[in-house]
Amino acid sequence: MNRLFLIQATLSVGVILSASGCGGKVTAVEAQAGDTGPHPVTIVPDMDPNNFKVDHPERFPLTAAGEYVASPELNVTGTVTPDVSRQVPVPSLASGRIVEIDAKLGDNVTQGQLLFKVRSTDISGAYSDYQKAVKNEQLTKIQLDRSQLLFDNGAIAKSALEIAQNAEDNAKVDLETTSEHLRLLGADPAHPTGIVAVYAPVSGVITDQEITDASGVQALTPPNPFTISDVSHVWIICDVYENDLSQVHLGEYADIHLNAYPNRLLRGRIGNIGEILDPNIRTAKVRLEVENPGLMRFGMFVTATFHGLTKEQHATVPATAILHLHDRDWVYMPAGGGNFRRVEVDAGDTLPGNLQEVISGLQPGAKVVANALVLQNTVEQ
């Protein structure tokens, strides 16, 4: 019994001690629950891939961005096309079949040069009318001479002589008309033939050909057998985005760089700005009128540079301070404590003295790493 009593007493003391311990913990929780004030929150910032820390920042010398004042420039691409006002169609004046072609697409031709020949039945009809007009004129001339002789001898009245004179005048008109028709078709009235020769009306380059040997043509009906273009003046058609149209003005001049001749600089006048935008890429067609020095050929690609009217202030840095990475341009700027920050910029033209223009993203006077590639290679290692 004494042993059983001792065990029960021991268990009772343990339960009492446990209850007292739990009671103390509840009291602490209740005390914290009464605190309603804001508590400071510790924020762990995400890693910025454009921030870098190096052990020896003094190994990367800095340079200050300079200042460059210039007019804004807009560079667009374009294509050399013919001046439509200087394109001359060469139609066939007679319907028939092509029997000879003496020039072809891309040839340079001169005014009066033979282009092609057509065998036409139109000549036979025109020559028939011409021969009839000749015979009628001869007959009316004989009748007029007879009437004149009779009138001089008082055998006929003057009215009969006037009728004969009128018939002769009408016959001459018919003869001139039919002979002109033959010459218009390219035939000689004195030596008529069924072959019609077509000659170049102007000098230039054949930019379109719609006939082949033994093909048929219709008189004065499109498509025209040939089209001759004057290449002394050409057009350059450029696509300018809607947001950049404010930098383009009629009558101003643009610098033109040919991809085929990068060292040649030409100038063209803005002759037209399209009124309708391309609904897909939101661009307007801008036409530059250029005098061709003999270098430009139809279909060539060019780069046109439009210059703004007001000058802007830009920053300049050494060319080595700009890093071209992932199709973008970057510079490194010090951030303190051995840290550097990579900043995206918009690089412009290359300037004398191995300098690079920075259009946006950097202000004059800002410090940048003089050699960005060295720092980039160090970070990657």
Q: Residue 55 carries which DSSP code? A: S
Average pLDDT over residues 47-67: 83
pLDDT value at residue 72 = 79
pLDDT of 63: 92
Predicted pLDDT at 378: 79
Average of per-residue pLDDT across 216-242: 92
| Helical (H) or strand (E) element with 235 | strand 233-241
pLDDT at 189: 84
**By the 8 A CB rule, do 244 and 224 touch?**
no
pLDDT band of residue 312 (cuts 50, 70, 90) is: confident
Place of tokens 């060469």: 90
Residue intervals of the chain classified under CATH 2.40.420.20 are 51-71+311-380
End-to-end Cα, the chain, rounded Å: 82
* C-beta atoms surrounding 259 within 10 Å: 10
Other CB atoms within a 10 A radius of the CB of residue 302 amount to 23
Confidence grade of residue 283 (pLDDT, cut at 50, 70, 90): very high
CA distance 227 to 209: 7
Predicted pLDDT of residue 192: 73
Q: Which of 46-50, 65-69, 111-115, 144-148 has the lowest mean pLDDT?
A: 46-50
Q: Can you tell me the mean pLDDT for 130-152?
A: 93
| Per-residue exposure over 186-209, b if at least 16 CB sit within 10 Å of its own CB, e if not | bbebeebebebebebbebbbbbbb
- Rounded to an integer, what distance in angstroms lies between the CA atom of residue 133 and that of residue 120? 21
- Cβ neighbours of residue 115 closer than 8 Å, sequence gap 6 or more: 90, 101, 102, 103, 109, 198, 199, 200, 225, 226
Residue span(s) of the chain under CATH 1.10.287.470 come to 122-193
How far apart CA 314 and CA 305 sit, in angstroms, is 18
Confidence of residue 182 (pLDDT cuts 50, 70, 90): confident
pLDDT for 315: 92
pLDDT band at 31 (very low <50, low <70, confident <90, very high): very low
Q: Average the pLDDT over 11-31 and give the result.
A: 48
Please name the residues in contact with 179: beta carbons below 8 A apart, sequence gap of 6 or more.
Answer: 130, 133, 189
- pLDDT confidence of 11, banded at 50, 70, 90? low
Answer whether 117's CB lies under 8 Å from 93's CB: no
What is the pLDDT at residue 381? 64
Domain made up of 51-71+311-380: CATH architecture: Beta Barrel (2.40)
Q: Nearest Cα to 314, choosing from 344, 346, 336?
A: 346
Tell if the pTM clears 0.85, that is, is over it. Answer: no
**Over 50: is that where the pLDDT of 329 sits?**
yes
pLDDT digits (tens, 9 = 90+) for 343-366: 999 988 888 889 999 988 999 999
Radius of gyration of the chain (CA): 47
Separation between Cα atoms, residue 19 and residue 13, nearest integer Å: 10
Mean pLDDT over residues 149-173, rounded?
A: 92
Instruction: Please say if the pLDDT value at position 6 is more than 60.
Output: no
Q: What is the reported pLDDT for 350?
A: 87
The CATH code of domain 122-193 reads 1.10.287.470
Least trusted range by pLDDT, from 111-115, 300-304, 372-376: 372-376
More confident site: 161 or 2 = 161
